[in-house]
Structure 1
C-alpha cells in the first residue's frame, strides 16, 4: 500500500531544519573536518566521502526526500502526472507524448514522424549517456538560481532531452517548434530513496556530498537523482510554471 506524503517526515537538502538529527550531526562533523583541513567549500565534490553514503541513506530511512524535475509540459501532460504518475523515460513514454501532441494539433504530421524516428530512445539514434528507465531530478533548488546542469535548456525545449537533444542545435525550424510548445515546469516530488527496488536509485556525485556541501555553507551544492521507479501522484508535491509564486521566485528562469 502506498504511503501518503503526510505520513512520513520530509527532508529538504536546502532546509537544514528538516534534516534528521543523526544526519545533521554526521554531515556537520564532515563539514568541520573539511574546514579544519582547509578545504574550500566550493570544492565539496572533491571530498572523500563515498564511505558515508550508506550511512546517510540509513539516516533517511522512514523519510521522503524532496527533489525537482525540470521540463516543459503541455496542460494535458500536467494533468496526467497529477492523475497517474511521473513516468520512467522509455520509448513508450516518448511515443505516447508525441502521439498525443500530434492528435491535439501541436505537431504536424511531418514533425511527428521526424521526432518519432529521431530521438534518444530509438536504438540507432542513442547518444552518449543513459537516459532511459529513470526519472531525473535534482535535490536542491540551486540549479534554478545558478543554471547548474543545463536546467535552462530543459525548461526551454519541450519533450525533455530524449526528444529535443538531437534537434535543438541542427534543426532550426524544429527547434523553434519545440521552444513554442508547453510551459516551463518544475515538478516537485517526494522520493523514497531507501526502499529496495529492482534497479537501485543512483545519486551523482552522492547524496552525502550534497548534504556536506550545504553544511559547509556552499549554497549551490546539489546532486542529480536518477530515480528508477515511477513517482505516483500522491508523491507529487507540486507542478509550478510562470505565474506561480513558487516559480516566479527565480526571476532568471524562462518565462514562456
Structure 2
C-alpha cells in the first residue's frame, strides 16, 4: 500500500533542516566547489550541475517536496481543490471552470461564450509555449518575496494563463471582469519528484541548481515545476488568500 503524505517526510528547498542528509552532504560539497571556484552565488543557474540531477532525485525518493501554485480562485474552486486536488490543465478543466462560473452568475452569457471560444486549449487559438497536461508550480516561496512580478499576473487575473492570456491586454472590459473574480490564492502542494511518470516532470532550472543556489545563500533561487501528474487532495497542504496570515506575511503580493 503506498504511503500517504503523513507517512512521508517533507522536503522544503527553503528550509535546509528538512533536506535528507545524503542530499545535504552532496549539495554542500557542490556549493563548496562553487565557492572555491569563485562562482558568484547569484549566477547559480550557470553552474555545470546537470550530471548530478539524477542523484539528487534519487536522494528525494521516499520524500515529498513542497511547491507552490499561484492562481486566482473563486470559493467553490478552493473547495474543489481541497476535495479533488489539482487537475492537469486541459480543455475539460477550462470548460468546467467557465461553465461553473457562468452557472453561478460570475460570467454573463457573452463573457462565457467568448472565453470558451478563445482560450489556450482551443487548438486554433493556442499561443506560444506548452500549457496543457501539466500543473505549474514554483519550487521555492522566493517569488512571494523576491520575484513578485513573475507571479503578479497569475494572482491578478482569474482563470490561469490558459483563460486570461489572450484577453488581459487587448480586451479591456473582459480583462476588468477577470480581475474582479475570485481572490489571489497560493496553493501549497506536496510533490513526488523522484517517481518516474510516463512523460517526465520538467523543472527549470534543475532541482540540483535550486538546492545548490540555496546552499550558496542565494535566497531568490527557485525553479518552475511543470508537474505532469494530477496532485491528489491528500497532497494539498494549504490554500491561502488575503486575510490568511500565511498570505499576508508577504506584503508585496496582490491584495484584491
Query: Which TM-score applies when normalising by structure 1?
Result: 0.98
Deviation at residue 121 of structure 1 after TM alignment:
0.5
Alignment of 1:199-214 (within 5 A): 199-214=199-214
Q: Is the contact between residue 203 and residue 225 of structure 2 (CA under 8 Å) also seen in structure 1?
A: yes
Looking at structure 1, the residues matched to 201 and 7 of structure 2 have their Cα atoms a distance apart, in angstroms, of 22
Q: Cα distance 1:20–1:217, how it changes in 2: closer, same or farther (>3 A)? A: same
Q: Cα distance 1:174–1:102, how it changes in 2: closer, same or farther (>3 A)? A: same
Deviation at residue 120 of structure 1 after TM alignment:
0.5
Task: Give the alignment's Cα RMSD to 1 decimal.
Answer: 0.9
Looking at structure 1, the residues matched to 168 and 5 of structure 2 have their Cα atoms a distance apart, in angstroms, of 37
Residue in structure 1 matched with residue 219 of structure 2 by the alignment: 219
How far does the alpha carbon of each residue in 1:159-187 deviate from its partner, in whole angstroms, 9 at most, with x for none? 00000001001111100000000000000
Deviation at residue 3 of structure 1 after TM alignment:
2.9
Looking at structure 2, the residues matched to 179 and 226 of structure 1 have their Cα atoms a distance apart, in angstroms, of 25
Looking at structure 2, the residues matched to 234 and 149 of structure 1 have their Cα atoms a distance apart, in angstroms, of 30
In the alignment of these two chains, the number of paired residues is 256
Residue in structure 2 matched with residue 232 of structure 1 by the alignment: 232
Residue in structure 1 matched with residue 142 of structure 2 by the alignment: 142
Unaligned runs of 5+ in 2: none
- Partner SS for 2:145: helix
Looking at structure 2, the residues matched to 158 and 146 of structure 1 have their Cα atoms a distance apart, in angstroms, of 23
Looking at structure 2, the residues matched to 149 and 12 of structure 1 have their Cα atoms a distance apart, in angstroms, of 22
Looking at structure 2, the residues matched to 184 and 167 of structure 1 have their Cα atoms a distance apart, in angstroms, of 18
Unaligned runs of 5+ in 1: none
Residue in structure 2 matched with residue 102 of structure 1 by the alignment: 102
1:27 paired to 2:1: no
Deviation at residue 147 of structure 1 after TM alignment:
2.5
Q: Cα distance 1:201–1:104, how it changes in 2: closer, same or farther (>3 A)? A: same
Residue in structure 1 matched with residue 75 of structure 2 by the alignment: 75
Alignment of 1:21-170 (within 5 A): 21-147=21-147, 150-170=150-170
Which range moved further: 225-234 or 148-157? 148-157
Deviation at residue 31 of structure 1 after TM alignment:
0.7
Q: Cα distance 1:171–1:137, how it changes in 2: closer, same or farther (>3 A)? A: same
Q: Is the contact between residue 88 and residue 134 of structure 2 (CA under 8 Å) also seen in structure 1?
A: yes
Looking at structure 2, the residues matched to 152 and 30 of structure 1 have their Cα atoms a distance apart, in angstroms, of 33
Q: Is the contact between residue 210 and residue 222 of structure 2 (CA under 8 Å) also seen in structure 1?
A: yes
1:183 paired to 2:183: yes
Q: Is the contact between residue 148 and residue 252 of structure 2 (CA under 8 Å) also seen in structure 1?
A: no
Query: Which TM-score applies when normalising by structure 2?
Result: 0.98
Looking at structure 2, the residues matched to 19 and 220 of structure 1 have their Cα atoms a distance apart, in angstroms, of 18
Deviation at residue 47 of structure 1 after TM alignment:
0.5
- Partner SS for 2:33: helix
Residue in structure 1 matched with residue 241 of structure 2 by the alignment: 241
Looking at structure 2, the residues matched to 148 and 171 of structure 1 have their Cα atoms a distance apart, in angstroms, of 24
1:193 paired to 2:189: no
Looking at structure 2, the residues matched to 137 and 149 of structure 1 have their Cα atoms a distance apart, in angstroms, of 15
